[in-house]
Amino acid sequence: MSIQDENIAKLAERREKAKLGGGLKRIEAQHNKGKFTARERLNMLLDAGSFEEYDAFVHHRCTNFGMDKEHFDGDAIVTGSGTINGRLVYVFAQDFTVSGGSLSKTMAEKICKIMDMAIKNGAPCIGLNDSGGARIQEGIDALAGYGELFQRNIMASGVIPQISGIFGPCAGGAVYSPALTDFTLMVKNSSYMFLTGPVVVKSVTGEDVTQEELGGASVHATKSGVAHFASESEEEGINTIKELLSFLPQNNMEDSPIIENNDPVNRIDDSLNDIIPDNPNKAYDMYEVISKIVDNAHFFEVHKNFAKNIIVGFARFNGRSVGIVANQPKILAGVLDINASRKAARFVRCCDAFNIPIVSLVDVPGFLCGTQQEYGGVISHGAKLLFAYGEATVPKITVTLRKSYGGAHIVMSSKQLRGDINYAWPSANIAVMGAEGAVNVLYAKDIKQADSPEEKQKIFEEKKREYDELFSNPYQAAQRGYIDDIIEPRNTRFRIIRALEQMANKKDSMPAKKHDNLPL
């Protein structure tokens, strides 16, 4: 065998060893927990044969606490590029079989290199997290590594899509990188995120809490809103990431891929004409409306189990990716509150950053009242959604189905917030408030001075009827140009598609500035 053949054989041997990470025993331990390894996850995520690995032979440089005696090629993370459905992506996957996936300075450098390449080449960056946190043996070097990583997240924000998959532990400072990305996915019963673990919580606050109760997927998908998706398994999580990516462009200078559409553009759905109940206080399901107007009834929901009084997610109209924001009358009558406002604001800003048009389906009676909301800052949180719509320069199509009252009317992509095309169904009520509340304010004195309960009721009903004739319809708003057209519900799909096609080359801008001062 020649020297060259020996060198090639040595390379192949070392590469195969590197693929084993921390070794067969640790891989088996990972499998026994029902978890895949970093490389197995990447194999599921990427197109077959497309993975190009970088820094496979990197070692950590720590000599403290006996670390100089243990080295693994790659150092607890696998990084590289590949394709998903033929589209370039950059990826990194933490390897729990090596030092518990803990972050060293060299590991951070590998991630930063990948993120720099993603930004430079305009491609999404996907990180699969499974780590015990900072490598304690490296001290401040590990913390510096996190800082470098966070700075890359910030610089990439709004430039390329960033997606985080949490497939194991993610604690302490490590949680901030996923929190800075556009979308975070967790796996139920096997992943968790928190700043301080149960032991520290117990010592500081006295609370007894498990890892799952403190920061499991269900907690962050329903209560905190930290997780946009919670999957039942790692396979489901990987498939969710793939589908999410299909709605997003490569970067902020491109548009999302257009998918071949076999759903007729001019398809009408007569059932929409009867979906709004005669009783204005009766609920209906906004999901039914969405499914009847989008391509092939397919809606990819984001934040499904958080702030359910508002619905956000992606769909397609004639093959084009669109972000949908819709009030849900079945939950809290569709009111806006703190969580709904920040959920929708985050989504609107993401769509705007990546050139995805926004379709808003409005049925909102106002903002949720009460001390809990006011003390929690509902004013500031509501302003986030108002700000997000007002600064968005992508095409914005708004359809008011029923109620649109008060400040919530303005917030939900009104004409005054540069809504491009604003439609209303004949059932729309656009006013400062509902008829009953308005009459009680406007005619409180007349009602109070009435001689009998019957007379009070008569005045109330008479004034309510007058108010309904004036405002419990979309015509006054249409007369003033605040509504561009009143449309028949069954034609909603066609009208939205035509509006989106009309706005395909829309140009809008914001005044020159360093950056805005969003009411955080």
Residues taking part in catalysis: 172-173, 407-408
**Contacts (Cβ under 8 Å, ≥6 apart) of 16:** none
CA distances, 516 to each of 252, 342, 519 (Å): 18, 17, 9
The three-class DSSP label of residue 318 is coil
Residue 321 belongs to what H/E stretch? strand 320-327
Please identify which residue in the block is written with the tokens 């998903």: 84
Q: Which residues are registered as beta bridge partners of 271?
A: none
Residue 92 φ then ψ, to 5° = -145, 145
CA distances, 331 to each of 242, 281, 307, 327, 408 (Å): 30, 12, 9, 9, 16
CA atoms of 56 and 87, how far apart (whole Å): 23
**Contacts (Cβ under 8 Å, ≥6 apart) of 245:** 84, 85, 87, 89, 124, 126, 161, 163
Give the DSSP letter string of 394-439: S-EEEEEEEEEEHHHHHHTT-GGGT-SEEEE-TT-EEESS-HHHHH
CA atoms of 303 and 461, how far apart (whole Å): 42
Q: How many other CB atoms are there within 10 angstroms of residue 265's CB atom?
A: 14
Sign of CA dihedral 405, 411, 412, 413: positive
513 sits in the region (left: phi over 0; alpha: psi -120 to 50; else beta) called: beta
